Chains A and B, each alone.
Chain A
Amino acid sequence: MTNHIIDATKWVDRYSDYLYNYTIVRVNEHEVAQDLISETFFAGLKSSKNFKGEASERTWLISILKRKIIDHYRKTNSNKGKAEVRMQYSSEDAEGDWLEERVQDPFDKTAEDTIENEELGGAIYDCLDKLPVKQASIFKMKTIDNFDTEAICNEYNITPSNLWVIIHRARTSLSSCLEENWL
């Protein structure tokens, strides 16, 4: 018997970065991304009984988030009087379909690159998920936020040499996780 108890108190630590990375490339606005993710968590909380544990929690949250983003697109598009964004989903997790819709913008010459980079970003986040939470957080603060060593050491109450050991472990695991398909 498996129990699918949802621990929403851990959602922010576990998923907010991943969801943010996913959202910001699609809405391009920090405030909007922040709102959509917040709405996603609250919607998830409300419908947590519907979570069957068939998919991962993250996949389930992403599926809620996707609908929020589509709603947001529809709203902004109809505000501007543009044609409604057509989104066709064959399944809950058809991320690819959506990406294809986005590629079809003929003015976006860098779309192909963007897609590839986004896939790479997704792959990095998937690998980060396999690391211990603290290790992943410290790696992200150092690599994405570009916090300096001292700031992170203060935050986590660790020494610089602790920090570099953690960074080293994170980087080594990430390298081998990404090696086969991406590096």
Chain B
Amino acid sequence: MKLLKKLFIDCETSALYCDKAQYNEATSMEKFQLKLHIVICKICRSHSIKNTKLTKACNKANLAKMPETDKAALKSKLEKEIGN
């Protein structure tokens, strides 16, 4: 009974596990609980589908950003220039 209770999670927890799963940071147990929840919860099911689509889109877009160290260097260079 206790185990059964543990298997069922609420919508908030399901949203958290779903986000973690997008970054491969959900444990097997969390993934299982999530799957179980979205079988019975329509809202979380549709959220999960959307969330996964976003992950796919981000991967497909092959996004790039400036590395943080380069950003910091550029920032101080620029601030120096502005200061003069």
CA distance A37 to B60 in the complex (A): 24
Which one, A4-12, A61-69, A70-78, A98-106, is touching chain B? A4-12
Shortest CB-to-CB span from B30 to chain A, Å, is 12
Question: Are B60 and A143 neighbours in the complex by a CB distance under 8 Å?
Answer: no
**Residues on A facing B (Cβ under 8 Å):** 8-9, 11-13, 16-17, 19-21, 24-25, 34, 37-38, 41-42, 45, 117-118, 120-121, 124-125, 140-145, 149, 164, 167-168, 171, 174-175, 178-179, 182-183
Q: Which of B16, B64, B81 contacts A164 (CB 8 A)?
A: B16
Report chain A residues within 8 Å CB of B81: 42, 45
Question: Are A12 and B57 neighbours in the complex by a CB distance under 8 Å?
Answer: no
- Give the secondary structure class of B's interface: helix
Question: Are A16 and B66 neighbours in the complex by a CB distance under 8 Å?
Answer: yes
**Residues on B facing A (Cβ under 8 Å):** 15-16, 19-20, 22-23, 25, 50-51, 53-54, 57-58, 60-68, 70-71, 74-75, 77-79, 81-82
CA distance A182 to B15 in the complex (A): 22
Question: Are B65 and A145 neighbours in the complex by a CB distance under 8 Å?
Answer: yes
Question: Are A144 and B63 neighbours in the complex by a CB distance under 8 Å?
Answer: yes
CA distance A12 to B65 in the complex (A): 11
CA distance A175 to B66 in the complex (A): 23
- Kindly list 19 other residue pairs between chains A and B, CB separation below 8 angstroms, not including A12-B71, A12-B78, A34-B70: A8-B82, A13-B71, A13-B75, A16-B74, A21-B63, A41-B74, A41-B78, A45-B81, A121-B61, A143-B23, A144-B63, A144-B65, A145-B68, A164-B16, A167-B19, A168-B15, A168-B16, A171-B54, A183-B54
